[in-house]
Amino acid sequence: MIVWIVNPYGSLPQEAWQEYRSSMLARALARAGHQAVWWISNFEHRSKTFRSPTWQRRELDDGTSVIVVPTTPYHGHISLPRIRSERVFARRVVEQAAREPKPDVVVLAEPALFFGPRVVRWCRESGVRLVVDVLDLWPELFSVALPHGIRSFDRAIFWPLYRRRRQLLRSADGIVTVCRDYLVPVAVAQATCPTEVCYLGVPPQTDHTVRQADETNVPEIPLPSKAEGDVWFVYAGTFGEAYDLATVARAVEKLVESGARCRFIFAGAGPLRQVVEDLAAAHPGCVHFLGTITPVQLRRVYESCDVGICSYSPGSTVAMPVKLYDYLAAGLAIVNSLGRECGALVESSGCGINYVAGDSDSLFAALVRCMNRPEERDHGRRVAKRLSADLGSDMQHDRFVRFIEKVVLGSAPQH
């Protein structure tokens, strides 16, 4: 099969410390003998920089063809320029599609509120099957940006966007979700096509974002020696509005001021980077800001840490975040603010502690508990390792490929 993966977002290999969904799916397709063509924007969402000045075609080691599509920049995550960027991306994908070998199926990443409609229309006109891959819940996420006084009216305010998503889901020949919670909007939309749950999963021990031969040449991260009895916490990921970093900063300040024997390591990038930099500047003996580091360096940092922090703002639509899988792979106990499937997993498995999102006192109590109960913390780390063995990303995406194969071999495309 020729399979197009259409998603303006994400990171190409060697651009970030974890492999992105599109890359994991493309490798799984290659393992099964299929040809993946990955369409991605030339504007990189996380860094807000251009990865190329115009159209570009790249060939990855696994045989995946990457088509880098020129579009327009934006700075606000929820903004009109971002909508324009998505629309330009979709228009150019469809224009270029006529010059490419016709695919057997398109895997369209959802949320796709503003780039999806053109792609769906092209699939219908071309007789190409469509699989929708639900990665996050929009427009539910947009309610976070509303003033508190009108937030309860979010469904009415965003009803055109809910209608657009419902139409997209009903147009699909198959739907995949990254967690079970995301099957709910599929049911609400009354989509009748087959569905499958394929988690992002725990990355394999062999890191596909860096060549193994290059690992020995990666410089060490300068961290202090870890004293006996110290507990090290780590937050690795995006420093964005949805990640409740102000709450994390307040809780860290309380813990540091209490004189606790602990250390906090922050690695990543994003618009709220200044919050983390200010925290590190105020407490240089206990808080370290590393910025963006390589996958190999991040794994080495994890080896020194005990607990990974999953902090998300109240009302977050995230259910099973990427950083959760990274922490599990590293055998870290989890401190988590998410409800949904992630919160249920943390509570039922005993791999960590849940706290109330947006509540610095609740987070402070969770951090203190991690420090004061070493046997509970060590139990969480053992459970994390066990969970990582059951949630391998290669296994998850091999299942994704089998689902695609069934869709392509099944009935005619939806019309």
> 59 and 182: one domain?
yes
> 165 and 244: one domain?
no
Question: Residue 207 falls within a domain, yes or no?
Answer: no
> 62 and 45: one domain?
yes
Q: 245-265, pLDDT tens digit by residue?
A: 999 999 999 999 898 899 999
For 38, residues 6+ apart whose C-beta sits below 8 A from its C-beta are 4, 5, 7, 22, 23, 26, 64, 65, 66, 67
Number of folded domains that form the chain = 2
**Residue in this structure with the two tokens 């063995």, named with its chain if needed:** 389
Question: Residue 194 falls within a domain, yes or no?
Answer: yes
pLDDT band at 160 (very low <50, low <70, confident <90, very high): confident
> 217 and 191: one domain?
no
Question: Residue 32 falls within a domain, yes or no?
Answer: yes
> 188 and 236: one domain?
no
Query: Does residue 210 carry a pLDDT above 70?
Result: no
CATH code where residue 249 lies: 3.40.50.2000
> 168 and 225: one domain?
no
The identity of residue 130, as a single letter, is: L
> 197 and 287: one domain?
no
Query: Does residue 414 carry a pLDDT above 80?
Result: no
Q: Which two tokens mark 381?
A: 């780390």
> 58 and 46: one domain?
yes
Q: Model-level pTM?
A: 0.83
Q: Comparing 143 with 74, which gets the higher pLDDT?
A: 74
Question: Residue 259 falls within a domain, yes or no?
Answer: yes
> 9 and 139: one domain?
yes
Q: Please name which of 398, 375, 325, 339 lies closest in space to residue 176, comparing C-alpha atoms.
A: 398
Question: Residue 319 falls within a domain, yes or no?
Answer: yes
> 98 and 147: one domain?
yes
The region of weakest confidence among 43-47, 121-125, 301-305, 337-341 is 43-47
pLDDT band at 212 (very low <50, low <70, confident <90, very high): very low
Burial 81-115 (b: 16+ CB within 10 A, else e): ebeebbbbbbebbbeebeeeeebbbbbbbbbbbbb
Range of the structural domain that residue 12 is part of: 2-201+392-409
Strand order in the sheet with 56-59: 56-59, 65-69, 35-41, 2-6, 105-110, 129-134, 174-177, 195-197
Once rounded to an integer, what is the mean pLDDT over residues 202-208? 68
Question: Taking a C-beta distance cutoff of 8 angstroms, is the pair 358, 247 a contact?
Answer: yes
The predicted structure's pLDDT at residue 222:
79
